Amino acid sequence: LFFIIIGILSTLGNGYVIFMSSKRKKKLRPAEIMTVNLAVCDLGISVVGKPFSIISFFSHRWVFGWMGCRWYGWAGFFFGCGSLITMTAVSLDRYLKICHLSYGTWLKRHHAFICLAIIWAYATFWATVPFAGVGSYAPEPFGTSCTLDWWLAQASVAGQAFILSILFFCLLFPTAVIVFSYVKIILKVKSSTKEVAHYDTRIQNSHILEMKLTKVAMLICAGFLIAWIPYAVVSVWSAFGQPDSVPIQFSVVPTLLAKSAAMYNPIIYQVIDCKFACCRSGGLKTLQKKSSSKKSRMYTISAHRDSTVMDETQLEV
C-alpha cells in the first residue's frame, strides 16, 4: 500500500514536471534541463520499478523469476545512479554560478546536453558492469524486490573490489562533490551578504531569488541523500559485516525510505515555484510604484543572456 501511494504520487508529480517543461523546451536554461533529467530519472524509478515491487509484496515473494530480478535490479540502480549524478551536476552548476561567475555564465544549452550524455553513459556503465560477471543482482533479504548483490563482498576479493568501487564512484564521490559545492556556496553567501546590501533594490531582489533557487537544489540533494544513506549503510553492513547480521525486518524500512525519494522532488518544485511567483509579482509591483511616482521608465529584470545585468542575476535551478 505504501508503494502504491508513493508510486502514484511520484508518477503524477514527475510526469507533470516533464509535461510543463516540454511546453517550453526551447526556452529551458541549462540548469532547468538538468532538473527535467532528474524528473525523468524519478519517473523511471516509479514506472519501471514500482509495479514489480507492488505485485511481489502482495504475493509475499518475488514472482518474476531470475531474469526479472536482474532487470529490476538494473533499472533501479540505473535510475538511482542517474538521479545522484544529475544532482551532482546541478550542485556544480550552482557552485560555478555563485562562486565563479565567469564560468557560470559561460555554460550554454549545448553544454547541458553534453552533460546529459555523460550522466546517462556513467549510469549505464555502472549499472551494466554486473552483467559482465564482475558483480550481480540478487533478491533483497525480505525476498520481494532485487538489488545489487552486496553479499559478494563476503565471497571473494573480487567481490569486495566490486562493492567498494560501486560505493566510491556511485555514492561517496558524488556525495563529496555535492557537499563541497554547497559548503563553498554557503561560505560565499556569508561573505557577500554585506556587499549585496550596498546594491540597489534590483540587484538585492535578484540575489534573493538566486539564493532561493540554490536552496531548492540543496533541498533536493539533501532529501535524496537522507532517503538513500540509511539504505547504503544497511547494504554496507550486509556486505562487510557478519553473515545474516542484519535482521530482515530491519532491512525493510531503509528500502521503503529509499524507494520514496522519487516522490519528494515534485513537491519541492511546486512549493518553491509558488514562492518565486510571489517574489516576482511583488518585485514587479515595487518597480511599477517607483515608475509611477518618479515618472521614469520602469526597470525590469531581463531573462535574456544578452543582458549585462543578467550575467550576474540569471535565475536558474
Where do the domains of the chain lie, and which CATH numbers do they carry?
Answer: 1-281 (1.20.1070.10)
- pLDDT-above-90 percentage for the chain: 24
- pLDDT-above-70 percentage for the chain: 75
Q: 137 φ, ψ to 5°? A: -110, 145
Q: Quick one: which of 109, 306, 309 has its CA closest to 210?
A: 309
Q: Quick one: which of 49, 11, 64, 48 has its CA closest to 256?
A: 49
What average pLDDT score do residues 222-228 get? 82
Q: How many CA atoms lie within 13 A of 16 on its CB side?
A: 11
In the predicted structure, residue 140 carries a pLDDT above the cut 90: no
Cα(212)–Cα(208) distance, integer angstroms: 6
What average pLDDT score do residues 83-94 get? 88
What pLDDT, in 10s, does the model give residues 251-297?
Answer: 788 888 888 887 877 777 666 555 544 444 444 444 344 444 443 33
Residue owning grid cell 545474516? 244
Cα(105)–Cα(100) distance, integer angstroms: 9
Q: What is the pLDDT of residue 221?
A: 80
Provide the 3-class DSSP secondary structure of residue 263. helix
Residue positions counted in the chain: 317
